[in-house]
Structure 1
């Protein structure tokens, strides 16, 4: 029986394995997925996890619950030797081992792009995974609790200052949702005035949201600023050492919460740990039918899709598909279909998908949608965002859970309890006596 190795369980990898299970005949092939996380993160929900509009676990889709006929390996592929059809896996625990395969699908996904800026590695939090989104939300809620017990001053101002670095979709959506949550929190914290909030969005270019045209982009900036946000265009982060933010335009301020959403970089495994062909940016070279290689030199039994694959965009000749969920999901589905067709000697299809438009949430009841020249703003766009993503999140189980949380929040409001203590669960157990004695003094 053939072994189909899927490297990575993100969007493209999850959908590839999920559809392979449905299309393969019993005994036709064994599907193996290697990923360090036991779930697929539905990243479009992360901004709403920040705001408490979506429960954190509902933005994660369990692999074991939905990939019942797939062998799941908890670990990371650190090297691929396609000439010998083997991959070296570093498991979560234990020694490295080798997996032999007949067909490989590289869907490892991209990683967060980091820059050597003082303080970023020590102070910033990314926004690519569920645990990061939860940490950001809990930090904000905890800071409100701390600030409410302080007199006005530099430390209180620092606790109430948030900085997002990066004006792409994840940065703008996260910024808008967290600003919406912070504004709503001031109603529950009478000690804190809205004017004390400091929300800063830093973008190196002269505009945010490059996926939309100029005028809608300017409208988003105006909308965020009218709500109290500060958008710094043509500005770069120079330093964040000890939480002191220094921008290239000369502005400086202290910020206790810094969120890094600058963009993606090529996966190190794909870039330098494989004998498969890569392009100048370190992405896997992929044909339009998702085979690895070029039209002149395809690589047998090797396929690729997702953020770390340079898939030709047939809708925009001469370019590669942009790394977003819309493409990754559809590429994963086609990849499964083409692998099965290849195994059975059938005809494979080329990937062509015209954009359905772009839609972004900017906070509770606010959004923007653009399809070609059609632009929709405000509440209708926000409802379109929610409608699209509740349909797109895989499995009816997840759709129902997310809808239930939204309906509950519509009646009772968002949950504003911080569980930052779960990041240090043994603190109360180890230091409980000291905490009690100190509180009694």
Structure 2
């Protein structure tokens, strides 16, 4: 016996004497044995049982052994069962025909018990080894696929980590000169006002022709009126740079090893600011409006940098979807039905989780691919436009790293909505 579980042998033999001899010998050798008297009977029994090996007579009434073997190999449920032909024929052509049809061996009548047992055991062992090899191959294939997926995710995470460090460094470098300029502008505005007041005093007393002429030449009145506006604009520009710097620092928070309390709205706002260049109006369309509908949320313990990556992926995809929906539409048509992205946040009723919704009014996701959007490497974008990793990593960050959930709902022609739930 090859294992604790007895192997089942099917004998297909129309000669009752031969069938009995084989039945008793194999049963005495420790096998379970099933007998079929014809090819038709064997095919019928095989719908109910699955033997480990079949001993198949060639010459039978009705369908012969060759035809029976051919039908066995056609069916998925029986094609892998080893078949040993039993034949009194010594013609090589018949033996070759049997092996060609898928048989693994043949036994020549009259039977030699030791020969039958040896061949049966060898082919059962080969079959079991083959099954193990196929199982190992499948496991290896699955392992390789998982390793490739993990490698892709590690590469993407490493890219995001490196990007975060780069962005944080840039933000720091921007912040220093911006702070210097902003601080000096405060004094410049005070000094400017003092100088303007002093010039007004000179202007009221100055009567010398060359001073009057020079005042007209430089349009002194306009200069005194416009100069404060210039400094105010410069101040606003510096404040804008400072806001961008702060948003970059928020977006690039390096906290990959530990969860920290984080204001979700800060993360969303910083991501929107970074993507602002893609939201602005251009020659082909008006600006994409971002509608914020924020609830009163507490801080959430999370990997802030990872969540910012999620917001980036979803918002960038929404912009892509809107731009795709604009293909073939004129500026005026888009203006009548303007692009928008709505971001809504709120607490769940039990106040144990927060819900973040991102909705756009693009074309939506076709029903046949909606279930695939979070799959690894799945993308509908053209080659070079997308890797298929964004939403896969997004799902991993939300579900695996934060114990939350992410779902997508979409109606073709009416946009898409991604709903994230995060435990507090």
Which is greater in Rg? 2
Q: Same fold (TM over 0.5)?
A: no
User: Normalization by structure 1: what TM-score?
Assistant: 0.19
Greater share of helix residues, 1 or 2?
2
User: Normalization by structure 2: what TM-score?
Assistant: 0.20
- Between 1 and 2, higher relative CO (CA 8 Å, sep ≥ 6) is seen in 1
Greater share of strand residues, 1 or 2?
1
